[in-house]
A and B are shown apart, each in its own frame.
Chain A
Amino acid sequence: MAEFEPKILAFCCNWCSYAGADLAGVSRLQYPPNIRIIRVMCSGRVEPEFVVKALSLRADGVLILGCHIGDCHYIYGNHRTKKRMAILERILGYLGIDPARVRLEWVSASEGARFAEVVRQFTEEIKKLGPNPLKEVRA
């Protein structure tokens, strides 16, 4: 059987993380190709529903990347993200979806290497977790 290649969705905020991803690209840093990026203006734009919808539509993992606390372009956007994701993870756990499939990380515009590292690590982790069980539920 071919090795499981997870599908990973990443929400990157426009001002830091997306720029970080860009930098990783420009610097030709290697990171796994499993990731698809959706650019949002701020990590605070990411509603927990987006994450669950992504999982429901068969993503194996979801990354939410924003500016470090204190650096958010909208000042408190990422404060909200952090609180929301905490609740989201709990609910996912109760429903039987491994919260490890969702990860919130802060990546600044200058952290191209960190971006690549986060993606690499997360992809590894999702490979270990295996395919998203919701795929079967929704089959």
Chain B
Amino acid sequence: MIENIRDLARKWLESKEVDAIFGLKEQDGGVAPYLFTGRVNGISELGKLTTSTQYRRLCYTCRPSKDNILSLMQRREPNMKIGIVARGCEERALVELAKRGQIDLEKIKIMGIACSQEEAKECKCERPYPNNLVIGERVEGVSGDENINALLSKSLPERLAFWRHELSKCIKCYGCRDACPMCFCKDCKMEQKIFTETGSLPPEIPMFLFIRFYHISERCIGCGECEKACPVDIPLLTIFRQLRRDMKDLFDYEAGIAVEQESPLLTTLDESPMRKEVTSGV
């Protein structure tokens, strides 16, 4: 498969369909995102273009500027056409970023690749393929029900005790936020004193992480980067996964599928009515 990706990347670059390919590069005994440019050495570097389960997504938010790497690139060279090797979650991130005015999809050509069954299992990914599938075979999604069911089977006091334990581990690294493609606010509420105490460990429970649970609720594309970034293994994804379901349930909405589909939180009840009356998740 990797040969197909390299070949296609070469073709795109040589035919000038794109000016650069954004993908993973083998380096220093690992892999890291890299921009393979159309210049001669860029093309010859394509031998190092690779995929890896480590970085399934490439377009991270850069701090301290708080811009997505793609928006930084596009702002720098607005006319550059970038090809990007994208798995399902990456494509969903791109769609959601475009929807929210962060990137210009017109200038991006997606080389969609499918994840293998194992890869999908590792992530418990419900949609291990992009809409624009170009390379690879589409496999069925895997359900992440276990964790969710385990949580939902608990009583309210048990859930509180569970989260109290988990959230007490938090060392306020903001790694979950930093890893999330959807966290690009310049003025993050998680940093603001009026919302959550600053300088204390563990951070205010549950306020600190609630901010992200709520803010990302309707835009989460389920990539799992937040949970993977957490140094103390807090099961953040359990909540985000469930919220993705809730969005379907409440608003018939799914993030990351189509740019035209507007966020239900930005529309009126007339434009996108709620499917159910306000019900609790209990």
Contacts and interface: CB of A to CB of B under 8 A. Distances in A.
Contacts of B259: none
Looking at chain B's contact residues, is the secondary structure mostly helix, strand, loop, or mixed?
helix
Contacts of A96: 154, 156-163
B135 interface: no
A65 to B, nearest CB: 14
Given A49-B195, A52-B206, A87-B217, A95 B160 contact: yes
A84 B278 CA distance: 10
Contact of B281 (A69, A80, A94, A104): A94
Contacts of B269: 69, 76, 79, 82-83
Interface in A2-27: none
A52 B210 contact: yes
A126 to B, nearest CB: 15
Given A98-B282, A138-B205, A87 B246 contact: yes
A133 interface: yes
Contact of B214 (A49, A69, A134): A49
A56 interface: yes
Interface string B145-165: 000000100101111111110
* 6 interchain residue pairs of minimum CB distance: A96-B160, A96-B159, A93-B281, A99-B280, A90-B281, A79-B269
Interface of B: 151, 154, 156-164, 189, 195, 204-207, 210-211, 213-214, 217-218, 238-239, 242-243, 246, 250-251, 264-265, 268-270, 274, 278-282
18 contacts: A48-B214, A49-B210, A52-B207, A52-B210, A56-B207, A76-B269, A83-B269, A87-B214, A89-B278, A91-B210, A91-B213, A92-B281, A94-B242, A95-B160, A96-B162, A98-B282, A133-B160, A138-B205
Interface of A: 48-49, 52-53, 56, 69, 76, 79-80, 82-100, 104, 133-134, 137-138
Given A80-B268, A90-B246, 15 more contacts: A48-B214, A82-B278, A83-B265, A84-B265, A85-B278, A87-B217, A89-B278, A91-B217, A93-B159, A94-B242, A96-B154, A96-B157, A96-B158, A96-B160, A96-B161
